[in-house]
Amino acid sequence: MKVAVVGAGIAGLCTAAGLSSAGAEVTLLERSPEVRGGGSGLSLFGNGLRALESLGLRSVVPDAPGVSPTTNGTRRPDGRWLTRFDPSAIEDLRVVRRSDLHEALLGRLGSGVDIRTGTGVREVHDGSVRLEDGTSIDGCDLIVGADGLRSRVRPAVVDDPGAVYGGYVAWRAITSRPLDLDAAGETLGRGRRFGIAPLPDGHVYWFASVNYDEDANPGGIAEVRQRFSGWHAPIEEILDATGPADVGVLPIEELARPLSAFVRGRCVLVGDAAHAMTPNLGQGANQAMEDAATLTALLGRTGASIDDALRAYDRLRRRRTQRIARQASAIGRVGQWRSASAVALRDLAMRAVPDAALSAQLRRIQDWQPPMR
């Protein structure tokens, strides 16, 4: 089977590795001059780890626990706890550097993957990928769109809804030195949130989100300090331990509406190209890994045709990913509430919900197994 995978992010690397290990001849196309990971930290939950296991890639993630033994939950800016997660609900959580994961996945691609960088895609049509340099890759049995929120493959599958701005931006970074923490999780204020997640080596991945006009220009770490001045410890210490050059900021976006299909003909979408979601559940990369594992397993079934496998993939993946995307979007909207009365109501409601119920919800999101091959 000849496969073209467009995009060499986490979704594309996992899909290329899985299909190649199943015997496919894979060409991996990346628009950038080189294949490398960006960003800062990344949370991998039990479902993502099971997807990697199914793909034969579990070893790319260190086995050290991600957040234990710290308390994990949600706080107010003064440090008062609103919710706490049962440690068993996050016992499989691993927090990693995105660049480390990307490099490890790249290193696991076999000789059956032809990587082409600096290769932008113009359009996809009838089993061919037409490139911006005027050449094309023809005779593909399968074309996988793993090229993110602004996918060039998506218009070949479905009417492209494009991206929509969520109304807030997020700064992200990893501290330049280890810190001792006794708690992790997220702190909710008025139109502002701050998240803390320790890495196995003691460094801390953090994010800060603030409501922002779409056409505004956010500043760097100095603005983060100003926005979160007076919030509970160790937020100030975390920012002091962060190099200004290590801080990135991006608008939070998602698909403007759910797609009516992830598959058309021999084209299939995975990762953000299919279901770009806000990061509020930490499930974006995990769902991309599930996509890759599901597609690989279905295509590897004995006697199954490619068309049958793609129909099953569309049925299995669309319902689950779109449900999670809706939940993530709703959590983000509530988390970014700004008015004093709405925030007071939110906090009261969170304190009233039993911690066991919230932990059960987190377990349900992770309750996924790859299809049998």
For 76-126, the pLDDT digits (tens) are 999 999 999 999 999 899 999 999 999 999 999 988 899 999 989 999 988
- Quick check: 294 pLDDT over 80? yes
**pLDDT at position 252, please?**
98
Give strand pairing partners of 84.
73
- 366: number of CA atoms within 13 Å, CB side? 22
**pLDDT at position 36, please?**
84
Three-class secondary structure of residue 194 per DSSP: strand
87 within some domain:
yes
**pLDDT at position 111, please?**
83
For 167-201, the pLDDT digits (tens) are 999 999 999 999 999 999 999 999 999 999 999 99
Nearest 5°: the CA angle 236, 213, 186 is 35
211 within some domain:
no
308 within some domain:
yes
pTM exceeding the 0.85 threshold for the entire prediction: yes
Instruction: Return the structure tokens found at 218.
Output: 């956010």
Task: Give the domain CATH number at 295.
Answer: 3.50.50.60
Instruction: Return the structure tokens found at 196.
Output: 């803390």
Region 289-318: mean pLDDT is: 95
- Quick check: 39 pLDDT over 90? no
The answer to which of 65-69, 107-111, 296-300, 343-347 has the lowest mean pLDDT is: 65-69
Region 348-359: mean pLDDT is: 96
245 within some domain:
no
For 217-243, the pLDDT digits (tens) are 999 999 999 999 999 999 999 999 999
Region 120-134: mean pLDDT is: 93
Please enumerate, as own/partner, the contacts of 193-198 that have beta carbons within 8 Å and a separation of 24 or more: 193/335, 193/336, 194/228, 194/231, 194/235, 196/234, 196/235, 196/238, 197/41, 197/43, 197/66, 197/67, 197/95, 198/66, 198/67, 198/70, 198/95
What element of type H or E holds 340?
A: helix 340-352
Give strand pairing partners of 72.
184
- Quick check: 67 pLDDT over 80? no
Q: What is the band of 274 on the pLDDT scale with cuts at 50, 70, 90? A: very high
Three-class secondary structure of residue 306 per DSSP: helix
Three-class secondary structure of residue 146 per DSSP: coil
Nearest partner of 206 among 239, 251, 245, judged by Cα = 239
For 143-168, the pLDDT digits (tens) are 999 999 999 999 999 999 999 999 99
**pLDDT at position 66, please?**
57
- Quick check: 283 pLDDT over 90? yes
332 within some domain:
yes
Instruction: Return the structure tokens found at 32.
Output: 């950038």
> Is residue 87 a contact partner of residue 329, using CB atoms and an 8 Å limit?
no
158 within some domain:
yes
> Is residue 18 a contact partner of residue 112, using CB atoms and an 8 Å limit?
no
**pLDDT at position 65, please?**
62
147 within some domain:
yes
**pLDDT at position 69, please?**
53
What element of type H or E holds 159?
A: none
Region 330-342: mean pLDDT is: 98
**Share of residues in the chain with pLDDT > 70 (%):** 98
Nearest partner of 259 among 145, 131, 119, 138, judged by Cα = 145
Cβ contacts of residue 312 below 8 Å, gap of 6+?
298, 371
Nearest partner of 355 among 83, 88, 89, judged by Cα = 83
CA 288/CA 247 separation, integer angstroms: 25
**pLDDT at position 315, please?**
98
Domain count within the chain: 1
The answer to which of 26-35, 57-66, 280-289, 304-313 has the lowest mean pLDDT is: 57-66
**pLDDT at position 270, please?**
98
93 within some domain:
yes
- Which domain does 343 fall in, by range? 2-164+254-366
Scored b (16 or more CB within 10 A) or e, 145-159 reads bbbbeebbbbebbbe
